[in-house]
Amino acid sequence: MHNKQDVLDNGPFFHGTKAELKIGDLLVPQHLSNYQDKKSNYIYFTATLDAAKWGAELATSDLKERIYIVEPLEDFENDPNLTDKRFPGNPTRSYRSKSPLKIVAELGSWERHSDEEINNMLTTLKKLREQGKAIIYD
């Protein structure tokens, strides 16, 4: 967790999703995860546009892909799913919180990953699930 003297990242922070939200709405934990078949204890966000794009592109829904600029309202921590367990440090600048994130803006336009990149990622995630290796530390 961070405190005033130990800020993990100053942002700006992004959340990629297919949910249609409004400025001022709060993103909260305990929603179904896009990556596993259960409710998530955390709300996840990132300080990199690339990671937010993946969040939007891989979200399980037929709605439009969206990237919101969010503001964490309370403490947050490094996302252990994308830090030292898999990569040293936190190169994706990915975080999670048990407290809400406030939607402060929606990114008007952004360039998607190519269909080939998205299909490759979906294939990789499917293989990991089949091998029992798609573990989310939540």
Tell me whether residue 136 is in a domain.
no
CA 24 to chain centre: 19
Which domain does 114 fall in, by range? 13-130
Tell me whether residue 6 is in a domain.
no
Give CA separation, 117 vs 9, 68, 91, 104, 113, in Å: 28, 22, 19, 29, 6
Tens digit of pLDDT for each residue in 102-134? 999 999 999 999 999 999 988 988 887 788 766
Q: What are φ and ψ of residue 101, in 5° steps?
A: -110, 135
The CATH number of whichever domain residue 74 belongs to comes to 3.20.170.40
State the pTM of this model.
Answer: 0.81
pLDDT band at 36 (very low <50, low <70, confident <90, very high): low
